Amino acid sequence: MALREILRYPEPLLKQKSVPVTEFNDELKQLADDMVETMYDAPGVGLAAPQIGALQRLIILDCSAKDEPDDLLVAVNPEIIAAEGDSLEEEGCLSVPGYWANVKRRATATLRYQDTDGNFCEREADGLLAIGMQHEIDHLEGVLFVDRLSPLKRSIFRKKSVSYTHLTLPTICS
Ligand code: ZN
């Protein structure tokens, strides 16, 4: 396993669409392992492969509370096949450090995905995990949570980000 660098806005790779995974080999398992190590080290609750520069449809999530056992979800070719209700919760992103905003999402989600051996699985979720699934799948489409804000909030974000992209921020994934 190896820690990988997390790409940050406005890195152009984060705007690209990821391609489906077709080979369930050791390389895929290595990528997933690196993502797991990088996410827990950050620390974060979710990570998508393009955030470490791999344009493949692979996401990981662990939205368990601190006092609960780990609940790691590694999802290859993830797809939301059902969703209900509305939610408005504050989100952040390891690729947009130092910025949080409320984002409209669906409140519950059913995820269909493959594990790293290619077996099809389904997982129903609500709360933080449902939101995380939608946030991470957005990354596979080249969409960041800041792209989902109202035009006013987005322009405020752009003004702020102009100042912070010129700063040398301490790396959170040394
Ligand atoms: Zn993110």
Rounded-to-integer distance, Cα 63 and Cα 94, Å: 14
Question: First CA to last CA across the chain, in angstroms?
Answer: 15
Q: With left for phi above 0 and alpha for psi between -120 and 50, is residue 85 left, alpha or beta?
A: left
Rounded-to-integer distance, Cα 82 and Cα 103, Å: 19
Alpha carbon separation from 64 to 55, 72, 140, 155 (Å, rounded): 26, 8, 23, 33
Distance 160 CA to ligand 1 centre (A): 18
Phi, psi for 20 (deg, rounded to 5): -60, 145
Q: What DSSP character marks residue 43?
A: T
Rounded-to-integer distance, Cα 13 and Cα 27, Å: 20
More confident: 80 or 156: 80
Active-site annotation, residues: 136
Distance 36 CA to ligand 1 centre (A): 14
Question: Mind listing the pLDDT tens digit for each residue in 76-93?
Answer: 999 999 999 999 999 999
Question: Mind listing the pLDDT tens digit for each residue in 97-135?
Answer: 999 999 999 999 999 999 999 999 999 999 999 999 999
Pairing mode, strands 120-126 and 101-114: antiparallel
Distance 154 CA to ligand 1 centre (A): 16
Q: What angle do CA 161, 165, 169 make, to 5 degrees?
A: 115
Distance 140 CA to ligand 1 centre (A): 10
pTM of the full structure: 0.92
